[in-house]
Amino acid sequence: MSGLLELRGLGISFGGLRAVDDLNMSVEEGQIVALIGPNGAGKTTVFNMITGVYKPTDGQVLWQGRDITGASPHRVAALGIRRTFQKIRLFPQMSVFENVRAGCHLQARQHWWQGLVGTRAQRREEAALAERTHAVLRRLGLHKVADERAVSLSYGVQRRVELARTLVAEPKLVILDEPAAGQNEAESAELNDTIFAIRDSGVTVLLVEHDMNVVMNVTDHIVVINFGRKIAEGSAEAVRTDPAVVEAYLGRDDEAEDAA
Ligand SMILES: Nc1ncnc2c1ncn2[C@@H]1O[C@H](COP(=O)(O)OP(=O)(O)OP(=O)(O)O)[C@@H](O)[C@H]1O
Ligand SMILES: [Mg+2]
């Protein structure tokens, strides 16, 4: 069986550091899949290899069965794969609307010079993209802050703006790097509903998340990595009680302190 996205023997080295090694995993269409693991396990690096930020040293990235290993970020986006970043990347001085609208840029069908002369087709397209942007803002409860500058918003709300920017492009797969980071408890609970709603709208979701309230409650499938290698995978229930996973997490000082 081949998934929507499949990683085969994926690996990358930075100098002497083997950040990801022989990673095999598959994301089926319509699933919500989580990639989890302790800090520094290699999760963001995996996302960077899928989205063309890093070129893998070994292995393959398959998209709908096609090899896209090493494709540029622009090409990956054009295939319908959109992502958020662990460190927020918004245009701070632009409004929420403008930031989200920017996510449509690959979709514009008209040529730039048609914008200069202001053709009717160009105006029609602009109106359609603006309407689509407003619809996504409403869906994510961001319509009230549409005209606010991104920089003026709380960190948690800025994360939602990033999420909106991925969705406005009508992707097939969204890749979310710690969407719950900086969210308070109520916001993180809301995020669960948002992720379900994204999936129900036909978008497959792959996420990295430390917030176990999100990971355990929304995912169909979890892959656990530690030191760049897969140590377990399965349902939330199976992974939660897996001895290798428990050890990977409890082996960390801060987690051990939390448990004490
Ligand atoms: N460009 C790079 N150059 C050198 N080392 C890197 C680079 N990118 C990542 N690494 C290293 O690869 C390892 C995995 O990092 P990565 O950011 O993927 O971890 P992570 O699982 O996302 O951690 P966190 O939960 O803290 O976000 C780390 O040791 C990191 O220092
Ligand atoms: Mg990371």
Q: Are residues 244 and 163 in the same domain?
A: no
Pair type for strands 173-177 and 204-208: parallel
CB-defined site of ligand 1, < 6 Å? 14, 17, 19, 37, 39-45, 86
Ligand nearest to the CA of 248: 1
Helices (H) and strands (E) in the chain, counts: 11, 10
Distance CA 240, CA 54 (A): 30
In sequence order, what are the residues at sequence separation of 6 or more whose Cβ sits closer than 8 angstroms to the Cβ of residue 15? none
Predicted confidence at residue 249, as pLDDT, reads 83
**Tokens in use for 254?**
């801060």
Task: Give residue 96's domain range.
Answer: 90-170
Q: Are residues 60 and 94 in the same domain?
A: no
In degrees, rounded to 5, the angle at the alpha carbon of residue 237 between the alpha carbons of residues 5 and 175 is 30
85 within domain boundaries: no
Give the residue from 141, 170, 199 where a domain finishes.
Answer: 170
Predicted confidence at residue 182, as pLDDT, reads 84
Tell me the CA–centroid distance for residue 211 and ligand 2, in Å. 13
Token look-up 């800025």 returns 158
Predicted confidence at residue 186, as pLDDT, reads 87
Query: Whose CA is closest to atom 25 on ligand 1?
Result: 39
| Most ligand 1 atoms within 8 A of CB, residue of 43, 46, 54 to mutate | 43
Predicted confidence at residue 184, as pLDDT, reads 87
Predicted confidence at residue 116, as pLDDT, reads 65
Give the residue from 137, 170, 203 where a domain finishes.
Answer: 170
Q: Are residues 177 and 239 in the same domain?
A: yes
Q: State the CB neighbour count (10 A cutoff) for residue 140.
A: 19
CATH of the domain at 59: 3.40.50.300
In sequence order, what are the residues at sequence separation of 6 or more whose Cβ sits closer than 8 angstroms to the Cβ of residue 184? 156
Q: Are residues 119 and 227 in the same domain?
A: no
The ranges of the chain with pLDDT < 70 are 1-2, 106-118, 252-260
Tell me the CA–centroid distance for residue 165 and ligand 2, in Å. 20
Number of domains in the chain: 2
Against a cut of 0.75, is the pTM above it? yes
Express each pLDDT in 110-132 by its tens digit.
566 666 666 777 788 888 899 99
Distance CA 32, CA 196 (A): 8
Q: Are residues 137 and 106 in the same domain?
A: yes
Encoded amino acid at 34, one letter: A
Tell me the CA–centroid distance for residue 56 and ligand 1, in Å. 14
Would you say 212 and 242 are in contact if contact means Cβ atoms under 8 Å apart? no
Give the residue from 150, 170, 190 where a domain finishes.
Answer: 170
Predicted confidence at residue 112, as pLDDT, reads 60
